[in-house]
Structure 1
């Protein structure tokens, strides 16, 4: 089985329904993992996606906040949803394909603006969430699995527009990068995107605050595709669709894709 998978923080699936439909028409991935859907599950425009050939969906929703969904052309059954760190947030959903591959879709907390848990509760929640992910992977080692999502951390120096300037900015602090590394190591996850494209910038997020995001290019790689070692070598064709960030009324994230031959 060969399939192409995409991950995209859509920043409201209802507000940007037409963008999702356009993406599905133009790119046609077999599986699309969405984060920050900001919708109860029953209000996700599922009929529109089904009409385009995506009849399968597993999701966790929340009114106005968070929310994750997996849309699929291929048969998909729900394989769990974890409330890591007991935050009460809809930040994880898992689906299993008929070939036994499990897909985990995560939306890790952004962490607020100040990288200090003593004065910023959101930063503490982010670190706690990553620790809970790490502990879960230690307790139950993943196999034949793919992990995608907006992990809200740009781990490498070339994953941000200016490494030195962003060392004290949430999403690139050493504390977060180390927490992410521990989580990745716990599941022996392979960074598929960087395995495919080891060098150069691969930004997937550009702030709305920049009046000309494309020219300024102050991006960060916050969106990731990982796989367990038993299937990581089957991945190829990784790409970030930067141009989608330039669509009308866009999300501040661009989709990230990879193909798996399994």
Structure 2
């Protein structure tokens, strides 16, 4: 059963309901994972999404912050939600599709502005969250699983507009990259996007602060799709939908897609 999956940090699902619906209409991924929904689950605007065929949803939410949701055209049941590092945040939800594939949707803490846990509590929380993810995947190796989400780290030199200038900027510091690599290795995860697009600069986020984000193109690849080793070869057709960053009232992130033949 081939299916296409997309992941998108939407930066408020209620504020941006219309562009979520636009993506559903125009691109029609079978599974759509959203992060930073900023909404209690009972306030997520389901009516329009359901009318477009997304009749299945699993989610965790909280008022004004964080929040993750998976919408699916394919039958799906909840497969758990973990509070990594005991932060009390809605940052993870898992759904199991009818073909047995488990989709993990993550919103890793951004980490604040100062890359020093002694001076910035949020940076310490980010590192602790990643460590907890690593430990969980060491203890329970993922099988027939896909991990997606805003992981808030651009790991490769060509995942950012300037490796040298961003080495001391949160999201691309060596300690963050090391922690993310540990998570990946713990679960034997494969980076689906870079397996399909191995070379060249690739971004999924452009700051709101840039007056002309498209021309400046100072982006970072913060949004990821990974696969467990048993299904990594089933993935193909990866792409980042850059155009969505220019839609009306956009998120500062663009959707990331992949297709799986399973």
Normalised by the length of structure 2, the TM-score is 1.00
Q: For residues 142 and 25 of structure 1, what CA distance do their matches in structure 2 show? A: 32
Runs of 4+ in 1 over 2 A off after TM superposition: none
1:206 CA displacement = 0.2
Q: For residues 101 and 205 of structure 2, what CA distance do their matches in structure 1 show? A: 28
Residues 148-167 of structure 1 aligned to structure 2 (within 5 Å): 148-167=148-167
Residues 106-255 of structure 1 aligned to structure 2 (within 5 Å): 106-255=106-255
Q: What are the Cα deviations for residues 189-223 of structure 1, in whole angstroms up to 9, with x where unaligned? A: 00000000100111000000000000000000000
Gaps (5+ residues) in structure 2? Answer: none
Q: For residues 175 and 216 of structure 2, what CA distance do their matches in structure 1 show? A: 27
Q: For residues 71 and 84 of structure 1, what CA distance do their matches in structure 2 show? A: 22
**Structure 2 match to 1:49:** 49
- Counterpart check, 1:24 vs 2:32: no
Q: What are the Cα deviations for residues 126-172 of structure 1, in whole angstroms up to 9, with x where unaligned? A: 00000000000001111000000000000000000000000000000
**Structure 1 match to 2:93:** 93
SS at match of 1:79: strand
Normalised by the length of structure 1, the TM-score is 1.00
Gaps (5+ residues) in structure 1? Answer: none
SS at match of 2:230: helix
| Root-mean-square deviation over aligned CA pairs | 0.3
SS at match of 2:172: coil
Q: For residues 127 and 40 of structure 2, what CA distance do their matches in structure 1 show? A: 26
Q: For residues 240 and 178 of structure 2, what CA distance do their matches in structure 1 show? A: 24
Q: For residues 98 and 27 of structure 1, what CA distance do their matches in structure 2 show? A: 22
Aligned pairs, number: 262
SS at match of 1:230: coil
1:47 CA displacement = 1.5
1:98 CA displacement = 1.1
